[in-house]
Structure 1
Amino acid sequence: MSAIPATPAGRSSPSFATTVACLALAQLLCWAALYYTFSAFVLPMRDSLGWSKPALMGAFTLGLAVWGAASYGAGAAIDRGHGRRVMAGGAAIAGLGFLLWACVQSLPMLYLAWALLGVAMAMTLYEPAFSVVTRRFPTRFGSAITWLTLVGGFASTLSFPVTLWLIGAFGWRVALVAIGLVLLLVAAPLNAWALQGPDAPPRERHTDAADDATLHEALRHRAFWLLAATFMLYSVVSATFWAHVMPAFASKGTPEPDALTVLMWIGPAQVLGRLAFLGAGRRLTPRVLGLAVFAAMPLSLLLFALAGSLWALLVFAVMFGAANGLVTIVRGHVVPTYFGHAHVGRISGLLSVLALVPRAVGPLAGAWVLLVVPGYRELLLLLALVALLAWAAFVLAGRPARSG
């Protein structure tokens, strides 16, 4: 992170549109690489190296745990004005992590690579980006978050076909090198360019900043802990689903081209959901939106578990994708809406710690569950139940005291 220089004094910040466009493209690349590719490498690595599926899932689990553990530090650094170093440095660390992953010959080396990638996740994925744009554009952060998630919503659509093509054409090690170079040479410079210059000057900040909750004040709110439970349960479900999605399709007997078709619809569905919010968002509070999308998550997973045809799986993809995309917008609005803008990095970072550290057990726990249940259908039914508990926690969190 220290390799990213501070912005020279006096250099002006790029425009709102330029900043958001560069950050959005970097989000697309980082999400596609860091979050979605792992499942595509599980079977090739198992066949090549002979390691068990639980052992491989343990690496992803470690990455998710480190992501959660490092999130508060990343948020605190952003609150201190180091957003550029955090996000550009994180993308560079991600690239190095992929290059290390490409060289693995032992499980400890794989786990070391994923520890680095976990740090990179904490420094690059949505939460730090939301904190940065909330600080830089305090009167326009909602629009910035929506555009970041609109572009980032195509990550799964980009990731699976490109990754599987690279693996099929060049092998899994070369595929990892290619992904690492894209992160180093494209994503890191994009973040560095977008975040030149200072955050918004004091006169542009909300006049009621003194009334914004500090981290310690937020911790005394019942809503904080219920929101933490909501996003923790949702994160466990999401991480487990994405880590096991390709084997789950294989267990259904779904041909790989059909599975790719389903997965490629999730990204556009995320974007369509976010576009619908862009058109109707002013008439929907984050609270109302959250109630709807957290209800859709268990329904979509139930459909996936029971679906026996391609058409049913496509309906799942649209429902799951739209809900998954809108959950991200809800998450981006939660801290400013409930607790204000002044300490958004620290509060968001702690929420991420509480959500992402338990999330880390999801992929590995899923592998263990598969040892005692008949198959993936039962695992998916269990995930639908956990998603229902996330909706219940959000209901109990109640209405925010401020309007955002």
Structure 2
Amino acid sequence: MTAVPDAGDTRWFISALGAAQICSWGTLFYGFPLIAEAMRTDLGWSKTELYGAATCGMLLAGLAAYPVGAAIDRGHGRYLMAAASVVAGLLLAAWSQVTSIVAFYAVLAVLGCMQAATLYEPAFAVIARRVGPLGARKGITALTLWGGFASTVFIPLIQFLIDTQGWRGALLGMAAVNAVVCGGLYFLAIDPRKDAPIRTHHPDEAAPLAGRAAVRAAMRRPAYWGLMIAWISYAAAFSSLTYHFYPLLLERGLDPSGVVMVLAVIGPAQVAGRIMIRAFASEAPVRKLGSAIVIVFPIAVIGFAYAPPQVAVIASIAAFYGAANGMVTIVRGIAVPEMVTREAYGAVNGSLVAPMNIMQALAPLAAAVIWQASGGYDAVLAVIFIGSLTLCAGFWIAAIRSRGI
């Protein structure tokens, strides 16, 4: 049994994870729309065909969330995240060679599983294992600050590679980043020998729960189901909004350059929101913090629905929406140990993330169906508004029922 790592070692650990997260998010998440658009132009495939593959990947990512979390609880985070990055690199290289839609779908399906093992949730679980669930707040907050720069760094970089090397060359560059940079950083940063000591128990006490037993125990707590409702609603409402933001704002009367200006506000606002939490609410109970943040979402939806089509006005609303989005990422990371249970973080959080990811994959398609059936985005915004209210209700129920945890 080893001692908890010192402050300098923890800073290196978080910084290395953060740099790897920038690369993982930048290549495995933010790069897809750019590559897909270039493929559409080159190969003549439809957007439906291209984005259908991404949906398959996200569905499998949802199914993989629990086993990934449980594996990290057992101390396999180093090999899991490093190997997943290497495999992701090989898959991106394979993607660069596809000529058939069947091969494209096969690559994107497996790549979704690698996302489940490399993005925020497994990194959160690794942090919780290193410093303990209750000590993970600062590390998770810092990690999300790093991750917030992924789009800023990689969207222009990938576009440059597409312009100079073509989409196939860009994918080869992204493959090298995953296999070498991400794989190397995860392997070097995650060392199970430096994890916080496992809580010991006396012979007359029950052993700490793990895996499915921990999830079953968590399911007996009302706060677990409140969070489940909240996160599924969040995924349904705001993945729809994210994927349809561009055409929605065009329909609202903005020109394309105005829409781009509005969208450019969201990323920096997410980082600003996380900085605000770190500066002013680093010790605030997560149930109080989250209860205040979720109110922003229905207000923002009302703003997007009824605000005049002026860039400054809608960009201001988008800034509040982006800041709340950034803050919710932190709340999601620390909600389980502070509101549900302090045992088996990876498994319990993975069980909550799995249906959230599945809903995130299906909701944009459902929004498109609603748009087509109704002839406009008014009905879509109405459904998103209902989802935002359900998010509030679910989190508030979890907050009320989690007192004493």
Indicate whether the TM-score tops 0.5. Answer: yes
Among candidates 173, 178, 187, match of residue 182 of structure 2: 187
Which of 122, 126, 131 is equivalent to 1:132? 126
Residues 37-73 of structure 1: CA deviation (Å, up to 9, x unaligned): 3333443333333333222221111111011100111
Cα distance in structure 2, aligned partners of 1:137 and 1:104: 43
CA distance in 2, matches of 1:209, 1:331: 28
Spell out the pairing of 1:221-370 with structure 2 (5 A cutoff): 221-248=221-248, 258-282=258-282, 284-306=284-306, 308-370=309-371
CA contact (8 A) 1:243 1:363 kept: yes
CA distance in structure 1 between the aligned counterparts of 2:96 and 2:250, rounded to whole angstroms: 25
Rounded Cα–Cα distance in structure 1 between residues aligned with 2:302 and 2:69: 35
Q: Report what 1:6 is aligned to.
A: none
Pick one of 112, 116, 138 that aligns with 1:122.
116
Q: Which is further off, 344-353 or 191-200?
A: 191-200
Give the 3-state SS of the residue equivalent to 1:345 in structure 2: helix
The answer to whether the Cα contact below 8 Å between 2:223 and 2:340 also exists between their aligned partners in 1 is no
* Correspondent of 2:37 among 28, 32, 43: 43
Q: Could you say what the CA RMSD is over the residues aligned between the two structures, in angstroms?
A: 2.9
Give the deviation of 1:400 after TM superposition: 5.2
**Aligned residue number for residue 13 of structure 2:** 19
Q: Hey, what's the Cα distance between the residues in 2 that align with 1:146 and 1:403? A: 23
Per-residue deviation, 1:27: 1.2
CA distance in 2, matches of 1:345, 1:101: 30
Give the alignment's TM-score, normalised by structure 1. Answer: 0.87
1:253–1:105: structure 2 CA closer, same or farther, 3 Å change rule? Answer: farther
Q: Deviations over 1:116-148 (max 9, x none)?
A: 221111101111111111111015311100100
Residues 58 and 364, structure 1, Cα contact 8 Å, conserved in 2: no
Structure 2 distance, partners of 1:172, 1:367, is 27
- 1:101 and 2:95 correspond: yes
Q: Deviations over 1:287-330 (max 9, x none)?
A: 12212222212332443455522212321331121111111111
User: What amino acid is aligned across from residue 93 of structure 1 in structure 2?
Assistant: V
Which sits farther off after the overlay, 254-263 or 349-358?
254-263
Deviation at 1:283, TM superposition (A): 5.2
Aligned to 1:144: 139
Query: 1:36–1:245: structure 2 CA closer, same or farther, 3 Å change rule?
Result: farther
Mark the CA change 1:249 to 1:30 in structure 2 (over 3 Å): closer, same or farther. farther
Would the alpha carbon gap of residues 217 and 18 (structure 1) be closer, same or farther in structure 2, given more than 3 Å must change?
A: same
CA distance, structure 1, for counterparts of residue 113 and residue 270 of structure 2: 26
Pick which of 394-403 and 361-370 moved more.
Answer: 394-403
Q: Which residue of 2 aligns with 1:4?
A: none
CA gap 1:355/1:209 in 2 versus in 1, 3 angstroms: farther
Matched residue, 1:373: 374
Gapped runs of 5+ residues in structure 2?
none
Q: In 2, are the aligned partners of 1:19 and 1:195 still within 8 Å (CA)?
A: yes
Contact 1:54 1:368 in 2 (8 A): no
> 2:163 & 2:251 partners in 1: Cα distance?
21
One-letter identity of the residue aligned with 2:28: L
Deviations 1:264-287 (A, max 9, x none): 332221111111111222452211
- Separation in 1 of the partners of 2:153 and 2:273? 18
Mean CA deviation greater in 113-122 or 260-269: 260-269
Report the Cα distance in structure 2 between the residues aligned to 1:247 and 1:47, rounded to whole angstroms: 20
Aligned to 1:219: 219
Question: 1:175 deviation in Å?
Answer: 2.4
Distance in 1 (CA, whole Å) between partners of 2:240 and 2:36 is: 14
- The separation in 2 between residues aligned to 1:383 and 1:162, in whole angstroms, is 33
In the TM superposition, what is the alpha-carbon distance from 1:23 to its structure 2 partner?
Answer: 0.5
Letter in 1 for 2:388: A
Q: CA deviation at 1:197?
A: 4.2
Letter in 1 for 2:49: A
Partner SS, residue 75 of structure 2: coil
What CA distance in whole angstroms lies between the structure 2 residues aligned with 1:389 and 1:340? 23
Q: CA deviation at 1:388?
A: 2.4
1:173 aligns with 2:157: no
| Matched letter for residue 373 of structure 2 | V
* Structure 1: gaps spanning 5 or more residues: 1-8
Task: Report if the CA contact (8 A) 1:28-1:155 is conserved.
Answer: yes
User: 1:67 maps to what in 2?
Assistant: 61
Equivalent pair of 2:230/2:392 in contact (CA under 8 Å): yes
Using the alignment, how far apart are the partners of 2:34 and 2:404 within structure 1?
42
Secondary structure at the residue paired with 1:104? coil
CA contact (8 A) 1:39 1:244 kept: no
CA separation of 1:102 and 1:203: change in aligned 2, threshold 3 A: closer
Equivalent residues of 2:75, 2:192 under 8 A apart: no
CA shift at 1:261, angstroms? 3.7
Residue 301 to residue 177, structure 1, CA distance change in 2 (3 Å): farther
Between the aligned partners of 1:48 and 1:369, the Cα distance in structure 2 is: 30
Query: Sequence identity of aligned pairs in percent?
Result: 36
User: Contact between 1:266 and 1:320, CA under 8 Å: does it hold in 2?
Assistant: yes
For 2:159, the aligned partner's letter is L
Separation of aligned partners in 1, 2:41 and 2:370: 22
2:54–2:108 contact (8 Å) kept in structure 1: yes
Question: Contact conserved, 1:335 with 1:348, CA < 8 A, in 2?
Answer: yes
AA at the equivalent of 1:327: V
- C-alpha displacement of 1:377: 5.6
Aligned to 1:5: none
Question: What is the one-letter code of the residue matched to 1:262?
Answer: V
CA–CA separation in structure 1 for the residues paired with 2:320 and 2:398: 24
Kindly tell me: are residues 170 and 403 of structure 1, through their superposed partners in 2, closer, same or farther at Cα, counting changes over 3 Å? farther
Once the two structures are TM-superposed, the CA of residue 97 in structure 1 deviates from its matched residue by 2.6
Evaluate the alpha carbon distance shift between residue 198 and residue 310 of structure 1 in structure 2; reply closer, same or farther with a 3 A threshold. Answer: same
Secondary structure in structure 2 of the residue aligned to 1:330: helix
- Structure 1, 146-155 or 166-175: larger mean CA deviation: 166-175
